[in-house]
């Protein structure tokens, strides 16, 4: 039987966030020569800024397109965390720490969702029970990773795998001829490869605008405040009505996040700081004694329904996109990479790839 898979030997990835780097590693593993162009330094944008919760917030508020990628991504993360640790020596601090969801609006419907989706659910553990169990739920399988470490690990793993990382190299134009992309223009010259994958996060829409059919991807700013407390103050993630606290193993606690449509403005604001501090202090008064270490902002690649586009361009046969993961790009990345490989190489993907098609 002839191999039905299309054969590709080289690929150029545009964007070095989690989705670009992880796609690059998977394509390299599949035997391709891979080069990656990154406008600044890899892993310094949304993928660095995120909280690293490996779950939708909360999962029952989302449709199957989001949950299929999120659940598959979460299932693959322990393996990826170990792979990155071994390849780079940097531990991304994957921890199945669990997540408390407080003030659940329709608790019975949420419980039914968990039951139908085999998502383990319980009452709050004793250390969190003071928040009250009548409208709360505990999801013990929710895990987290520490974004900056995961991104450093991915960078080192990519270099060691032989991926050519070109940092400080923005893709400025896609050169086309007929139904193909023939090269990518940058200030350091034109790069060529058999195929091109756009993985430029919030900037993907702008990058693809000139070739037509650009997916709807727009920046949505998120801000976070970081505390340093004693390790063990909080056992797991706590989510309440749009805000969360995420405890790291060494005692850092992230309070997030805002959802702001302010274009490509990455500034932090006093309003967001006040909003996040108010939430954090009400939920965990002990944080009043903790040092505030930092506040930052990142631009999520916002998309309608939080559904990314992971597909081939409708006209240009060697152009692909893996972008628009919005609020859950870290959770989804391992599964999104599988969908991309299905689209590019015909490899098996455990999730249905149809919802991530590139619309006309
Ligand atoms: C405050 C906040 C909290 C979050 N919390 C979570 C969470 O708890 N869990 C979760 O799963 N997700 C979370 N997210 C979302 C998640 O971080 C994103 O969905 C994910 O990082 C997107 O990854 P990406 O690789 O697509 O984009 P990015 O990480 O933004 O990477 C895109 C890269 O492309 C580069 N680039 C742009 N234009 C060009 C160009 N022309 N040429 C070359 N390179 C270019 C950029 O410099 C950047 O490095 C959060 C995001 C924020 C901001």
- Per-residue pLDDT tens digits for 213-227: 999 999 999 999 999
DSSP H or E segment with residue 320 = strand 319-323
CA of 17 from ligand 1 middle (Å) equals: 6
Asked if residue 309 lies in contact with residue 323, where contact means CB atoms within 8 angstroms, the answer is yes
Residue 134: predicted pLDDT: 85
Question: For the structural domain made of 1-95+144-217+303-360, what CATH number should be given?
Answer: 3.50.50.60
What's the whole-number average pLDDT of the chain? Answer: 96
CA of 16 from ligand 1 middle (Å) equals: 9
pLDDT band (50, 70, 90) for residue 336: very high
| pLDDT above 70 as % of the chain | 98
CA angle, 316 as apex, 315 and 319 as ends, to 5°?
130
pLDDT band (50, 70, 90) for residue 33: very high
Q: Are strands 10-14 and 33-37 parallel, antiparallel or unpaired?
A: parallel
Q: Whose CA is nearest to atom 41 of ligand 1?
A: 171
CA of 322 from ligand 1 middle (Å) equals: 12
- Ligand 1 atom closest to the CA of 332, numbered from 1: 11
pLDDT band (50, 70, 90) for residue 22: very high
Q: Whose CA is nearest to atom 2 of ligand 1?
A: 50
Q: Whose CA is nearest to atom 31 of ligand 1?
A: 17
Confidence check: pLDDT of 133 > 60: yes
CA of 201 from ligand 1 middle (Å) equals: 5
* Residue whose entry in the numeric block shows the structure tokens 């990835």: 13
**Structure tokens belonging to residue 227:** 């505390």
Burial of 159 (0-12, 13-18, 19+ CB in 10 A): middle
- Per-residue pLDDT tens digits for 100-115: 999 999 999 999 999 9
Confidence check: pLDDT of 3 > 80: no
| Domain segments of the chain as ranges | 1-95+144-217+303-360
Asked if residue 221 lies in contact with residue 208, where contact means CB atoms within 8 angstroms, the answer is no
Closest CA to 80 of 93, 99, 65, 68: 93
| pLDDT above 90 as % of the chain | 94
Q: Kindly report which listed range (156-160, 262-266, 299-303, 346-350) carries the lowest average pLDDT score.
A: 346-350
**Structure tokens belonging to residue 180:** 């193909």
Q: Whose CA is nearest to atom 10 of ligand 1?
A: 328
């Amino acid at each position: 039987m002839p191999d039905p898979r299309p054969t590709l030997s080289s690929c150029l990835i545009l964007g070095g966030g989690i989705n670009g780097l992880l796609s690059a590693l998977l394509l390299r593993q599949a035997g391709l020569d891979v080069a990656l162009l990154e406008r600044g330094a890899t892993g310094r944008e949304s993928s660095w800024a995120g909280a690293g919760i490996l779950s939708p917030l909360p999962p029952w508020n989302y449709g199957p397109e989001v949950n299929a990628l999120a659940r598959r991504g979460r299932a693959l993360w322990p393996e990826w965390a170990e792979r990155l640790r071994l390849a780079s020596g940097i531990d991304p601090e994957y921890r199945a720490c669990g997540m408390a969801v407080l003030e659940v609006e329709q608790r019975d419907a949420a419980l039914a969702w968990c039951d139908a989706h085999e998502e383990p659910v319980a009452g709050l553990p004793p250390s969190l029970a003071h928040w009250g169990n009548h409208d709360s739920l505990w999801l013990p399988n929710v895990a987290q990773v520490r974004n900056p470490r995961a991104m450093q690990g991915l960078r080192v793993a990519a270099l060691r795998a032989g991926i050519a990382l070109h940092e400080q190299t923005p893709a400025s134009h896609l050169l086309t001829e007929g139904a193909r992309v023939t090269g990518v223009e940058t200030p350091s010259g034109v790069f060529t490869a058999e195929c091109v994958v756009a993985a430029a996060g919030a900037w993907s829409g702008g990058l693809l605008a000139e070739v037509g059919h650009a997916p709807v991807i727009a920046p949505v700013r998120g801000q976070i405040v970081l505390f340093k407390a004693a390790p063990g103050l909080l056992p797991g993630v706590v989510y309440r009505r749009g805000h969360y606290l995420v405890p790291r193993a060494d005692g850092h606690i992230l309070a997030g996040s805002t959802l702001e449509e302010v274009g490509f403005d990455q500034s932090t604001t006093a309003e967001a700081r006040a909003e996040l501090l108010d939430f954090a202090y009400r939920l965990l008064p002990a944080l009043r004694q903790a040092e505030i270490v930092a506040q930052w902002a990142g631009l999520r690649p916002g998309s309608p329904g939080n559904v990314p586009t992971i597909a081939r361009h409708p006209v240009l046969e060697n152009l692909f996109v893996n972008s628009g993961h919005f609020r859950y790009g870290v959770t989804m990345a391992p599964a999104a990479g599988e969908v991309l490989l299905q689209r590019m190489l015909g490899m098996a993907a455990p999730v249905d790839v149809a919802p991530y098609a590139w619309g006309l």
